[in-house]
């Protein structure tokens, strides 16, 4: 089945999310769609699945124009979406999730789960997916959950599969396996649209590549004639460097020490299990790992948002195990949280207010009768914006009105514009444009060079590999491996294996204690 987009346009208020997009999707072919966050990839795919209706242009299936009115229409026409955020009911089994909406039934609306299971097994068999039909989703690793999503669209007899950032949650080895599945689907005649912002992946799997920038197709080509550099230029619109410039680390005194830190959840499972490591001043330590292996909890315990059940945390030689969040902060710990909307900023506050969320109580802002000296706040915020390249017409604008990259730079500015000794940065560049990523990375390296200890937690392995002087890998709440990454010498493959829980990779690279 071939799908053609002709002059597709979609506006949200004054914002043109898709501007006259032309695209050809062919059966038996993998089309790589490359674009930054906010380039309009998701809008385009939502129009293809029927979630949005285009303002102009048309969609043609095998040459015939079609019109989608609702979310069910895309799949009915044979176009299936695998969303970036899984659309699975965690307490249902695989079979229940797959058949939901098109259930095989008997008399009296009886749900024929036996038949459902058999149908799931048949698809499993045909495409080599190996998904246990009776397992509960919540007990499956994310890699398998993703296959359940693929099962869902195959069950609905989709001929076009749109995969939205499918590798974001996978380890490098799982990505290899996943590519195997994609190739199998392609050979079975399915059309695949592979959406990503990762350059090496798109080169590895695509038969054709289209690049989207600011809602327009800005480049098209054959992967054989393209390389990462050319693609990056098409994606960002200027020359960019993805390698972080930094000199070898000069580790100094010990800044942070975790000593057998353990954290339990309500059911006594160990979210953190005897975590022990150190961060020295003047070095960047990166925590690699697939999301959900305890990284969030680790940051919460270090910053004081959660209290460990056992173990000790020291900061610059002092035991801070029981200190409050503010006290840790006062001693020079900066925290760039993983989800800025939930923890890093107040969307409806102005930029100025957001800039002083961690310091409004300072002497510097004190005014008579316990009120805040707002003039001082506004001056400071304006200075921070200049310093950290936060692009805004005014500090009186709501923080939520900024672009993702500027929001994140605002959070980074607030955390770093003071005397710091330790920077804890969690997913520091999630949902941020390439320009801002470069800038934030540069600032983190600068903090290191000024003698701070820097701890970076990221699920983007490239980010960890590029920034860290030392890499620790977390798996199921434990630190399972450590790599020396001086001069980028850690082996990406080895790190990937450790992320998947492979043992026997401890202290690779000659940094044995």
Q: What minimum distance in Å lies between the beta carbon of 91 and other proteins?
A: 6
Please identify, using beta-carbon distances, which residue of 224 and 512 lies nearer to other proteins. Answer: 512
C-alpha–C-alpha distance, residues 455 and 283, integer Å = 9
Please identify, using beta-carbon distances, which residue of 467 and 471 lies nearer to other proteins. Answer: 471
Please identify, using beta-carbon distances, which residue of 205 and 479 lies nearer to other proteins. Answer: 479
Dihedral angle sign, alpha carbons of residues 177, 181, 182, 184: positive
Please identify, using beta-carbon distances, which residue of 98 and 356 lies nearer to other proteins. Answer: 98
C-alpha–C-alpha distance, residues 492 and 202, integer Å = 18
Please identify, using beta-carbon distances, which residue of 211 and 261 lies nearer to other proteins. Answer: 261
Residue 88 is classified by DSSP as: -
Block residue for tokens 């920034």:
467
- Structural contact between residues 333 and 419, judged by C-beta atoms closer than 8 angstroms: no
* Closest to 415 in 3D by CA, of 286, 306, 328, 294: 328
Q: What minimum distance in Å lies between the beta carbon of 476 and other proteins?
A: 11
C-alpha–C-alpha distance, residues 6 and 20, integer Å = 7
How many CB atoms lie under 10 A from the CB of residue 21?
A: 23
Please identify, using beta-carbon distances, which residue of 30 and 95 lies nearer to other proteins. Answer: 95
Q: What minimum distance in Å lies between the beta carbon of 97 and other proteins?
A: 8
Indicate the burial class of 99 (C-beta count within 10 angstroms; 0-12, 13-18, 19 or more). Answer: buried
Q: Which long-range contacts (CB under 8 A, 24 or more apart) does 231-236 make?
A: 231/34, 231/199, 231/202, 231/203, 232/199, 232/434, 234/34, 235/34, 235/35, 235/36, 235/39, 235/197, 235/199, 235/211, 235/434, 236/36, 236/433, 236/434, 236/435
Binding site for other proteins (CB under 8 A): 46, 49, 51-52, 70-72, 75, 81, 83, 87-92, 96-97, 99-103, 105, 108-111, 152, 260, 262, 264-268, 274, 276-278, 309-310, 470, 472, 478-482, 484, 506-507, 511-513
Please identify, using beta-carbon distances, which residue of 187 and 265 lies nearer to other proteins. Answer: 265
Please identify, using beta-carbon distances, which residue of 109 and 393 lies nearer to other proteins. Answer: 109
Please identify, using beta-carbon distances, which residue of 443 and 470 lies nearer to other proteins. Answer: 470
Q: What minimum distance in Å lies between the beta carbon of 174 and other proteins?
A: 22
Q: What minimum distance in Å lies between the beta carbon of 178 and other proteins?
A: 21
How many CB atoms lie under 10 A from the CB of residue 194?
A: 24
Rounded alpha-carbon distances, angstroms, from residue 111 to 101, 136, 316, 391: 11, 17, 61, 56
Interacting residues of 120 by C-beta distance below 8 A, sequence separation 6+: 94, 95, 98, 99, 131, 133, 151, 155
Tokens of 293: 């292996």
Q: What minimum distance in Å lies between the beta carbon of 261 and other proteins?
A: 11
- Structural contact between residues 313 and 320, judged by C-beta atoms closer than 8 angstroms: yes
Q: What minimum distance in Å lies between the beta carbon of 359 and other proteins?
A: 33
- Structural contact between residues 291 and 142, judged by C-beta atoms closer than 8 angstroms: yes
Q: What minimum distance in Å lies between the beta carbon of 165 and other proteins?
A: 16
Tokens of 404: 């993702």
Please identify, using beta-carbon distances, which residue of 266 and 363 lies nearer to other proteins. Answer: 266
Please identify, using beta-carbon distances, which residue of 96 and 338 lies nearer to other proteins. Answer: 96
* Closest to 192 in 3D by CA, of 408, 16, 201: 201
Helix (H, G, I), strand (E, B) or coil at 396: coil
C-alpha–C-alpha distance, residues 426 and 339, integer Å = 8
- Structural contact between residues 302 and 391, judged by C-beta atoms closer than 8 angstroms: no
| Core vs surface per residue 7-16: b (16+ CB within 10 A) or e | ebbbeeeeeb
Residue ranges of the alpha helices (H) in 358-401? 374-387
Please identify, using beta-carbon distances, which residue of 441 and 478 lies nearer to other proteins. Answer: 478
- Structural contact between residues 42 and 22, judged by C-beta atoms closer than 8 angstroms: no
Please identify, using beta-carbon distances, which residue of 63 and 267 lies nearer to other proteins. Answer: 267
Q: What minimum distance in Å lies between the beta carbon of 83 and other proteins?
A: 7
């Amino acid at each position: 089945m071939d799908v053609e987009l002709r002059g597709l346009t979609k506006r949200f208020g004054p914002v043109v999310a898709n501007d006259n997009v032309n695209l050809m999707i062919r059966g038996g072919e993998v089309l790589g769609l490359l674009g930054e966050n906010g380039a309009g990839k998701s809008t385009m795919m939502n129009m293809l699945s029927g979630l949005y209706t285009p303002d102009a242009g048309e969609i043609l299936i095998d040459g015939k124009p079609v019109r989608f009115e609702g979310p069910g229409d895309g799949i009915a026409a044979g176009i299936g979406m695998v969303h970036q955020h899984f659309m699975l009911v965690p307490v249902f089994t695989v079979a229940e999730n797959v058949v939901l909406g098109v259930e095989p039934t008997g008399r009296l609306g009886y749900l024929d789960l036996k038949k459902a299971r058999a149908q799931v097994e048949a698809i499993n068999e045909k495409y080599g997916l190996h998904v246990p039909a009776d397992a509960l989703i919540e007990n499956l690793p994310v890699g398998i959950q993703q296959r359940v999503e693929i099962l869902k669209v195959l069950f609905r007899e989709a001929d076009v599969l749109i995969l939205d950032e499918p590798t974001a949650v996978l380890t490098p080895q799982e990505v290899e396996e996943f590519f195997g599945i994609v190739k199998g689907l392609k050979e079975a005649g399915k059309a695949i649209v592979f959406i990503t912002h990762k350059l090496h992946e798109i080169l590895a799997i695509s038969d054709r590549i289209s690049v989207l920038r600011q809602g327009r197709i800005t480049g098209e080509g054959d992967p054989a004639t393209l390389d990462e550099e050319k693609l990056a230029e098409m994606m960002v619109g200027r020359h960019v460097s993805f390698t972080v410039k930094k000199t070898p680390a000069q580790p100094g005194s010990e800044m942070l020490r975790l000593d057998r830190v353990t954290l339990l959840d309500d059911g006594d499972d160990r979210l953190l299990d005897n975590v022990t490591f150190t961060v020295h001043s003047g070095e960047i330590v990166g925590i690699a790992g697939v999301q959900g292996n305890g990284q969030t909890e680790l940051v919460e315990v270090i910053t004081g948002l959660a209290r460990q059940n056992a173990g000790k945390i020291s900061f610059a030689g002092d035991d801070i195990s029981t200190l409050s969040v503010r006290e840790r902060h006062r001693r020079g710990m900066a925290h760039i949280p993983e989800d800025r909307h939930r923890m890093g900023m107040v969307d409806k506050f102005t930029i100025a207010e957001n800039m002083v969320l961690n310091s409004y109580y300072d002497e510097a802002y004190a005014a008579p009768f316990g009120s805040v000296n707002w003039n001082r706040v506004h001056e400071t915020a304006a200075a921070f914006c200049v310093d950290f390249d936060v692009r805004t017409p005014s500090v009186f604008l709501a923080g939520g009105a900024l672009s993702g990259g500027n929001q994140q730079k605002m959070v980074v500015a607030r955390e770093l514009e003071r005397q710091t000794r330790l920077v804890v940065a969690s997913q520091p560049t999630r949902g941020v444009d390439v320009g801002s990523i470069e800038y934030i990375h540069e600032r983190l390296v600068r903090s290191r060079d000024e003698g701070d200890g820097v701890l970076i937690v990221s699920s983007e392995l490239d980010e960890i590999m590029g920034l860290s002087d030392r890499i620790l890998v977390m798996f199921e709440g434990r630190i399972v491996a450590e790599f020396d990454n001086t001069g980028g010498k850690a082996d990406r493959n080895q790190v990937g294996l450790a992320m998947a829980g492979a043992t026997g990779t401890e202290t690779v690279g000659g940094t044995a204690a």
